[in-house]
Amino acid sequence: MPRLSSGLVIAGAYADKIRRTIFAQLRDYVKKDKEWGQKIAFAVAQLNRVLYTIFAEQLKIDKGDVVRIRIDYDIDESGKNIVWKWDSLTVEAFRRIAQEQIDSIVRQLISKAAEVALAAVAYNLTKLGETFDGDIVFSVTLNGKDVGAAIVTPINETLALLKRGGVVEPTPAIFEKIRLEIPVGSTIEDILKNVLATVIQSARHVSIDEALKMVNAIRDRVSVKPMSIYMEVEEEG
């Protein structure tokens, strides 16, 4: 059974390391059929969603802490799917957290990992400004931290268009050209949050560099300072 191991990696960079590692492991499948690339990216997004819950929400890991992730998986060749063996997930965090505490949190999450992997993400929005041609630019936040941006074109009182959006957490992803139908009593922000919440199922899953490039291109439309992320070269081992 194949195993994904991140090696020792800075917590701020684990999502990108996992993506690069599994694409390297499965490069022969990707060469044969480009659909494999989409399926692998989706599987990475699911794993990142679970790891975000562990690191950011449960353990409160800092971006500069060192972590290591290991998990086994099956390759469903007929269905072109990666099937994570959630009960094999092991996580190490190299900071002053007792390993017993980490193991306890991971064990508790394993029983519902498949559900968490697809769970909605509770993003919030802050309006950053409007462009000269009437588009609205929003900052996307998660747990009080800037993690993305979106640009929306209002069409009328009941319809808008999400032109582009990008997030770097809990997994790097991009949204493009999505109709936002606005029922009476709702706002663009309400509907946009609902759309972004389905990031795992409906977004295009990309590298962290591509997502960050999209985010900062959107922020630049209203002359807002680029968003940065904590990145360091990971350590192997």
Instruction: Calculate the alpha carbon distances from 212 to 19, 124, 131, 136 in Å.
Output: 15, 18, 20, 19
CATH number at residue 10: 3.30.470.50
Same structural domain for residues 78 and 153?
no
Concatenating the DSSP letter of every residue in 179-216 gives EEE--TT--HHHHHHHHHHTHHHHSEE--HHHHHHHHH
pLDDT at residue 147 in the model: 94
**Same-domain status, 50 and 138:** no
Count of beta carbons in the 10 Å neighbourhood of residue 65: 17
* Grouped pLDDT means (10 residues each) for the chain, 237 residues: 93 92 94 90 96 91 91 92 95 82 86 87 96 95 94 94 95 95 93 94 92 96 86 43
Q: How many domains does the chain have?
A: 2
In a domain, 232, yes or no: no
Q: What's this model's pTM, rounded to 2 decimal places?
A: 0.80
**Amino acid 100: pLDDT:** 85
Residue that terminates a domain, selected from 60, 83, 117: 117
In this structure, the answer to whether residues 8 and 107 fall within a common structural domain is yes
- Expressed as residue numbers, the domain containing 17 is 3-117
**Same domain as 165, residue 97:** no
- What pLDDT score does 154 carry? 95
Q: How far is the C-alpha of 13 from the C-alpha of 231, rounded, in Å?
A: 6
Residue 235 falls inside a structural domain: no
